[in-house]
Amino acid sequence: MDKVYKHQHTEKNWYSLWEEKGYFTPVINPEKKPFAIIMPPPNANGSLHIGHAAFLTIEDVMIRYHRMVSEVTLWLPGADHAGILTQVVFERKLEKEENKSRFDLGREEFIRRCMEFTLKNKEVMENQMRAIGASCDWSRKSFTLDPKFNKPINATFKKLYEDGFLYRDLRMINWCPRCATALSDLEVIYKEKKDPLYFIKYGPLTLATVRPETKFGDTALAVNPKDKRYLNFIGREIEAEGLLGKMKFKVIADPAVDPKFGTGVVKVTPAHDPDDFAMGLRHNLEVRQVIGFDGKLNEKTGPFKGLTVREARIKTASDMEKKGLIVKKDTEYIHNIAICERCQTVIEPMVSLQWFIRTKSLAEMAIKAVQKGEIRFIPKSFVKNYNIWMENIRDWCISRQLWWGHQIPVWYCGKKNLSDLQLTMNPELKKIKNEGCGEIIVADEKPRTCPKCQKKNLIRDPDTLDTWFSSGQWPYTTLNFDQENVSDYEYFYPTTVMETGYEILFFWVARMIMLGLYSTGKVPFKIVYLHGLVRDALGTKMSKSKGNVIDPLTVIDKYGADSLRMALVYGTSPGSDVKLSEKKIEAMRNFGNKIWNMARFIKMNIEFFEKNSKKFTPDQKYIPSDNDDKNLLKNLDKLIKLVTDNMNSYRFAIVSEKLYNFLWHEMADKYMEQVKDRLRNNDWSALNTLYVTFISSIKMLHPIMPFITEEINKQLTGEEKPLIISPWPK
């Protein structure tokens, strides 16, 4: 054996051998129990980060263990097209390198080039997964935009529509002017911001607002019905001076108005505020849109047309001050603003025609599945969060004004139902004649004619589906549900474990459960294992700006994949954030060096024994008479039981800690020191006990540190059969 373990050479060789021999690909055996994980697909638009390394390590530990206990083990890898995120990344690249927009390319060419960009990144990402040691079945790898997914995803959309779960309606949505698309509530983050709070005269009343620029869209004033200050105004129409002349407003009473905010009077702008929109529905108010989908004021604002929201806010406030309409302003007012999670642009609440899923009854099914024990959460504490979110779920907006993604399988007869945002955002649609009856046709593929009027002027909805709608069907679509070859689906579904980060419990896990139950009648997985965020040594979130990011590929090159994997597992409990530092990774590299030196010590003693006595033949069943040997083997039996129990219970931190302590302290520090003299005297019992215990220990360590354990096993045993398919110690 080499004096020093060389991870760069060893890791590449072992991974190539595992992959070439087909050890990652399971053979379906109805007589055996399957263990299946469908990999959460990383976004195929960049390199893997430390969070990816964490989930790949945890899932690989599960997979390697269950493979060694002779279960038919499938780990199906994949990648996510990541709709809005990839489109934003690629559009920025296009703008920076070619000074072009997606509209300069046209939809077809944009998608073609975006696909090239994504597939190139996907290939790099897959090789990075190999470097981490992910023993997934590459023969079954999937991509969320693979053509095979079109049929089942479109079928789910159609079924939801026919069953009354899917509808198209004008609703208040989160609109990102930069990404030019609607966003779900989960794609929006909130930040505190200091803005002036303006107290503005509206005739005889004064109200407070941070958004003077939306006053052009005001259609009423509102007060709380219990606010005695304004009882005489309720139901009256008042006249107010505006920036475009005199305006008239009806004063309405609504319990949603907070009498303690500002003066207790609020302006109602149904087109640009979710609370105002709801109030407008209750009081049948006009919805007057004054901000366009480009984030600029429109023609209804007169001379303010073309100004951005920020520019208009400054100018309207300035003009009102000149006219004496602003009574006072609070320059220290702090409030929460909605931000696009992807590009950090301020969200504009807009009323838009979108597709929605009625989620209440779907959520009820998903709650019952967990309550009945069909799905188990690790850790259990997340069940409460899951239930609270599901019980308060809102209808899900699944349409996105993007080109990159699964296009919505809906056709319209003529332009009648496309008079909303799409015509302004997609110049190609302007060329189409406005002929047809306006029928909405939901179908798996384009119909030849309109079933109502028989005309052929059918226009496909230009929008795409929310990424989470397609990835929400990931567990069963990857297993060929509703395809000709359903053997994978019939054998592996429901899958065993869905391992993912707790931060996407509602983004993804909840939606997989809802859509899985709806489409297949079964839960998509039996266990949800949630891991935490990877933070720095101080528990601070990693970010490039803070300079505390650990790049997994860099540390793998420096310390080896095994060191990173052990560092990610050691001391980490499910649902808890991981504290990681280069120092911790280095410490695990030192542990790897320790077991390498232990292996060298054992091999040297075997060679010494064979030189001075006879060929060394280990015997696992041998019962020694020496107390030191007996104690070590007794402790090994306890360790095997403890490690096995914790592997089955998904407590990998305990597994790593017990193996670390046993190998370093119980064996190296204690037993190996005890038997040095006996080994010099060719004591077979001491050598056999040392050998058997060490080999059993590295077998149990293999799921966490696969590369070095394979090399040690080969060097010591000389066996051709690698650890990856060796039986688990008993």
Tell me the mean pLDDT per 10 residues along the chain, length 730.
Answer: 93 97 96 96 91 97 98 97 90 92 92 96 96 98 93 95 93 89 86 96 96 96 96 95 94 96 96 94 93 94 96 96 95 94 90 92 97 97 95 92 94 69 45 70 90 87 93 94 82 97 92 97 97 91 84 96 98 92 97 98 95 89 92 97 98 98 97 95 95 98 98 94 96
CA-based max dimension of the chain: 110
Structural fold of domain 577-725 = Isoleucyl-tRNA Synthetase; Domain 1 (1.10.730)
What pLDDT was estimated at residue 430?
53
Q: What is the DSSP string of 421-487?
A: HHHHH-GGGGGS---S---EEE-SS--SS-TTT----EEE---EE-HHHHHTTHHHHTTTTTSS--H
CA 623 to chain centre: 52
Please tell me the pTM assigned to this model. 0.88
Residue 169: beta bridge partners?
354
Instruction: Please name which of 47, 73, 51, 45 lies closest in space to residue 60, comparing C-alpha atoms.
Output: 73
Instruction: Please name which of 160, 151, 167, 158 lies closest in space to residue 476, comparing C-alpha atoms.
Output: 151
Would you call 441 exposed, middle or buried from its count of C-beta atoms within 10 A (0-12, 13-18, 19+)? middle
Secondary structure (3-state) at 320: helix
Distance between CA atoms of residues 476 and 494, nearest Å: 8
> Is the fold of 196-332 the same as that of 577-725?
no
Q: Where are the domains of the chain?
A: 196-332, 577-725
DSSP E strands, 243-395: 245-253, 265-268, 326-330, 334-340, 348-357, 376-378
Distance between CA atoms of residues 115 and 468, nearest Å: 19
Distance between CA atoms of residues 165 and 159, nearest Å: 8
User: Dihedral angle at the C-alpha atoms of 311, 317, 320, 322, nearest 10 degrees?
Assistant: -90
Instruction: Please name which of 182, 196, 253, 261 lies closest in space to residue 222, comparing C-alpha atoms.
Output: 253
Distance between CA atoms of residues 477 and 497, nearest Å: 16
Instruction: Please name which of 52, 88, 110 lies closest in space to residue 342, comparing C-alpha atoms.
Output: 88
The string of pLDDT tens digits covering residues 297-351 is: 999 999 999 999 999 999 999 999 999 999 999 999 999 999 998 789 999 999 9
The string of pLDDT tens digits covering residues 556-588 is: 999 999 999 999 999 999 999 999 999 999 999
* Opening angle at CA 84, ends 148 and 525, nearest 5: 50
What pLDDT was estimated at residue 432?
54
Q: For the domain 196-332, what is the CATH superfamily, name and number?
A: Valyl/Leucyl/Isoleucyl-tRNA synthetase, editing domain (3.90.740.10)
User: Dihedral angle at the C-alpha atoms of 410, 415, 420, 422, nearest 10 degrees?
Assistant: 70
Distance between CA atoms of residues 191 and 81, nearest Å: 28
- How far is the first Cα of the chain from the last one, in angstroms, to the nearest whole number? 28
What pLDDT was estimated at residue 373?
97
Distance between CA atoms of residues 652 and 569, nearest Å: 6
Amino acid identity of residue 620, one-letter, is: Q
Instruction: Please name which of 71, 15, 126, 3 lies closest in space to residue 562, comparing C-alpha atoms.
Output: 15
